[in-house]
Amino acid sequence: MSYSPNQQVDVIIIGGGPAGMSAALVLGRARRHVLVLDEALPRHRVTRESHGFLTRDGVSPSELRQVARQQIAAYPTVRFVQETVVEAEGIDGKFEVKTQNGQVYHARKLLFAVGMKDLPMELEGLEAVYGKSAYVCPYCDGWEMQNRQIAVIARSAFALHLTRTVSGWTDDLMVFTHGEQLPDEQKQQLESRGIPVFETPIQRIESENGETRAIVLEDGRVIERTAIFFAPQLEPGSTLPSVLGCETMDSGAMVVDESGRSSIAGIFGAGDGASQKYQVAAAVAAGSMAGAGINTELLESDWEHRAASLS
Ligand SMILES: Cc1cc2nc3c(=O)[nH]c(=O)nc-3n(C[C@H](O)[C@H](O)[C@H](O)COP(=O)(O)OP(=O)(O)OC[C@H]3O[C@@H](n4cnc5c(N)ncnc54)[C@H](O)[C@@H]3O)c2cc1C
């Protein structure tokens, strides 16, 4: 089914990653007219395999996307367009969004499923291993990296938390704070468990075909390591929710209720960009809940309209 840009749809979903596609599926099955505007840069695109999502453990992110798109294609009222949304305005029942290509679309409800994105990586060599032997989430990739010589790179108090978590997958751990002093108590906790702490700044990460080989420190030491877990710097996939006045967390992610409702009527959020849990299963669940939440509000409004139109 095709829409002209001026035709109002029920819902515009901004972002077509796992959260946005899950909401699109629920809304398509509810016979809603849905337009998904997606710039198609899901956060896990750097990784070879996605893990931990039941029935899809170990598939590539592109296969996950392809299967989802194939299944959603069965619902003809859902349309996907590859576009970046740059502006949004309006009130509940009447929103307008503009894309980078100058197209304007209208909808009764908006769902932001824009994810979080990594800020540019400041460590030389990290990008080359990201998604291949350097990861951010042990639950996603710890199994594949188990028993390796793991470097935990984290500059804040998060170092202790991340190291304790990664210790479930290997005994061979070293912590690199890249020039930051860890509080004594934390350093003592790590060292008393046989985990060395390096506070010297890192000069670069050495690797071969995406496989980590060593951490090179600014003082010249070369520390052999074969995998990395690190704490990335993130920002929301889009600043539009906060521009529209939606309440946000410290991370910039939207504050939403269990049905994805934001603090602004008619605007919903789902997935990484409205959460503190960054996993496909959580994003899919949130998208599904938001889809149902949006449909509930549309049903309520249509119910009232039906009575009014007969009186
Ligand atoms: C290296 C790595 C490995 C990972 N491995 C796993 C794993 O194995 N298992 C797991 O469960 N999770 C994994 N994750 C986490 C997983 O990627 C996220 O939890 C998941 O992608 C979140 O889905 P989402 O739909 O919320 O956001 P995303 O998947 O990030 O999708 C957001 C979409 O919105 C689009 N978008 C943003 N702004 C706009 C705009 N203004 N206009 C139009 N479109 C826009 C983006 O381009 C993107 O397509 C991994 C993450 C990383 C970084």
pLDDT in tens, 5-34: 667 999 999 999 999 999 999 999 999 999
Query: Does 272 contact ligand 1 (Cβ within 6 A)?
Result: yes
Question: Is 141 a domain residue?
Answer: yes
The last residue of a domain, from among 203, 230, 257: 230
Residues 25 and 166 in one domain: no
Does residue 264 share a domain with residue 214? no
The total of structural domains in the chain comes to 2
Binding site membership of 84 for ligand 1 (Cβ less than 6 Å): yes
Residues 6+ apart with CB under 8 A from 4: none
Q: Is 2 part of any domain?
A: no
Last residue in a domain, options 230, 258, 286: 230
Residue 187 falls inside a structural domain: yes
User: Do 100 and 147 sit in the same domain of this protein?
Assistant: no
Query: Do 160 and 179 reside in the same domain of the chain?
Result: yes
Question: Taking residues 239-257, what's their average pLDDT?
Answer: 97
Look-up of token digits 């602004």: 264
Shared domain for 240 and 92, answered yes or no, is yes
- For the domain that residue 29 is a member of, what is the CATH number? 3.50.50.60
Q: Is the pLDDT of residue 191 over 90?
A: yes
pLDDT of residue 158: 86
Using only the alpha carbons of the chain, give its radius of gyration: 22
What value does the mean pLDDT of the chain take?
95
Residue 149 inside a domain? The answer is yes
For residue 75, being part of any structural domain is answered with: yes
Element (H, E) at 86: strand 85-91
Distance between CA 39 and CA 36 in Å, rounded? 10
Does residue 221 sit in the same domain as residue 254?
A: no
What are 199-218's pLDDT values in tens digits?
A: 999 999 999 999 999 999 99
The pick from 110, 126, 278 for probing ligand 1's pocket by mutation, whose C-beta has the most ligand atoms within 8 angstroms, reads 278
Pocket lining: 187 vs ligand 1, CB cutoff 6 Å: no
Element (H, E) at 153: strand 150-153
Instruction: Tell me the C-alpha distance between 47 and 21, whole Å.
Output: 19
Question: To test ligand 1's pocket by mutation, which of 45, 49, 137 has the most ligand atoms within 8 angstroms of CB?
Answer: 137
On whether both 136 and 208 belong to a single domain, the answer is yes
Considering the domain architecture, whether residues 160 and 289 belong to the same structural domain is answered as: no
Share of the chain above pLDDT 70, in %: 98
In a domain, 146, yes or no: yes
CB atoms within 10 A of CB 59: 16
Single-letter amino acid code for the residue at 222? V
- Assign 128 to helix, strand or coil: helix
For the cut 60, the answer to whether the pLDDT of residue 2 exceeds it is no
Q: Containing H/E element for 194?
A: none
Q: Which domain holds residue 148?
A: 126-230
Q: Report whether residue 157 contacts ligand 1, using a CB cutoff of 6 Å.
A: no
Q: Would you state the pLDDT for residue 89?
A: 98
CA distances from 225 to 9, 35, 57, 115, 214 (A): 52, 46, 27, 31, 5
**C-beta neighbour count of 170 within 10 angstroms:** 18
For ligand 1, is residue 22 a contact (CB within 6 Å)? no
Same domain? For 287 and 201 the reply is no
User: Which ligand 1 atom is nearest residue 19's CA?
Assistant: 25
Q: Does residue 3 belong to any structural domain of this protein?
A: no
Instruction: Choose the final residue of a domain: 191, 213, 230.
Output: 230
Please give the pLDDT value at position 176.
97
> What is the reported pLDDT for 307?
87
Whether the CB of 149 sits within 6 Å of ligand 1: no
Q: Tell me whether residue 197 is in a domain.
A: yes
Q: Would you say residue 36 has pLDDT above 60?
A: yes
pLDDT at 118: 93
156 and 252: one domain?
Answer: no
Query: Do 151 and 184 sit in the same domain of this protein?
Result: yes
For residues 113 and 239, state if they share a domain.
Answer: yes
> Residue 278 class from Cβ within 10 Å (0-12 exposed, 13-18 middle, 19+ buried)?
buried
CA of 115 to the centre of ligand 1 (A): 5
* E strands present in 263-310: 267-269
Phi–psi pair at 304, nearest 5 degrees:
-65, -40
Cβ–ligand 1 distance for 15 under 6 Å, the answer yes
Percentage with pLDDT > 90 across the chain: 92
Q: Quick: pLDDT tens for 164-189.
A: 999 999 999 999 999 999 999 999 99
Per-residue model confidence (pLDDT) at position 16 = 98
Q: What pLDDT band is residue 155 in, cutting at 50, 70 and 90?
A: confident
Q: How far apart are CA 10 and CA 297, in angstroms?
A: 11
CB of 230 closer than 6 angstroms to any ligand 1 atom: no
C-alpha closest to that of 156 among 233, 253, 43: 233
**So what's the pLDDT on residue 156?**
72
Question: What is the value of pTM for the model shown?
Answer: 0.95
